[in-house]
Amino acid sequence: MIKSPLNSLQSLASLVFFLIVLSACAQDNTVYTSPEGYTLTDPETYYLSDALHEVSGITFPYKGSGVLVAIEDETGTVYQLQLDENKTILGKFGKSGDYEGIAATRQDLIVLRSDGVLFIMPLANSKEEKIQDVIMTDDLIPTDEYEGLAVDPTDDLIYVLCKKCDVDKKREKVSGYIFEIRDHQPRLKGQFEIDENQIDSFESLKGKDFRPSALAKNQLRDEWYILSSINKMLVVADSSWNVKAVYPLNPKHFNQPEGIAFDADNNLFISNEGGDKTRKGTILKFNETQ
């Protein structure tokens, strides 16, 4: 049977209508809310140089100076940034590798490699072109997959958080390790964990595991902010790691969020890797409003 042109047009119109309806159903209807004191829907955006296209961690080690220190996940380089002045100082601390986290105590700058190896260097040396006196530790925690590194400013303890560790298989938990540093040498002090069921009670993980990419301490509110690029969410937990709230992240702003930090004024900063080569790495600033 030969279809008439009218029937063909009707079929085409039906197909177009179906695709429009399907597209509308697929649209994101998520309501994006924000933690107390911040508005995650209205960031101040800083675009990074090509060298920081794969920015993977950020921290503010010099209290009150406004200098943000960043790493990317390839070259073993520390980047000291003055965001408002577009200035950068580079410091080489290690060989090429997959570096995922950076944090600072009062005396030391610490970098986390994805396999759990820590690089510890005196903060006073961190602006050198080739950073001296770097200590590399590779026997503190099991070799696995890690991305989260933070320091609690109240006591200078260091927190390392699993992204995907064998110990957490079938546990519905995410494990972490606590260290202290004495004479630039880290020592394991304890462990902690985040309960995925608590996260799920606030915002569905949709049957997936929680894969954190960064964490930082909100010292003013005594809360931990745990970021996940894969799950596109920000988890807020109390000082005992009990989940208090979960905030979905809008991909419009958070295309690949891998770093998180607070400055001396408790403003929140989140960094995005560029991902697609047509995009720039970014740092988003959210001013403290209360």
All structural domains of the chain:
33-286 (2.120.10.30)
Q: How does strand 44-47 pair with strand 214-218?
A: unpaired
| Among 269, 263, 271, 267, CA closest to 287 | 267
- pLDDT for the residue 50: 92
Separation of alpha carbons 195 and 223, rounded Å:
16
86 torsion bin: left (phi>0), alpha (psi -120 to 50), beta (else): left
DSSP 150: E
Q: How large is the C-alpha radius of gyration of the chain? A: 22
- pLDDT for the residue 36: 94
pLDDT digit of tens for each residue in the chain (290 aa)?
444 554 555 556 556 555 544 444 445 588 899 999 999 999 999 999 999 999 999 999 998 788 999 999 999 999 999 988 878 899 999 999 999 999 999 999 999 999 999 999 999 999 999 999 999 998 899 999 999 999 999 999 999 999 999 999 989 999 999 999 988 789 999 999 999 999 999 999 999 999 999 999 999 999 999 999 999 999 999 999 999 999 999 999 999 999 999 999 999 999 999 977 668 999 999 999 87
- pLDDT for the residue 79: 97
- Coil, helix or strand at residue 5: helix
- pLDDT for the residue 180: 95
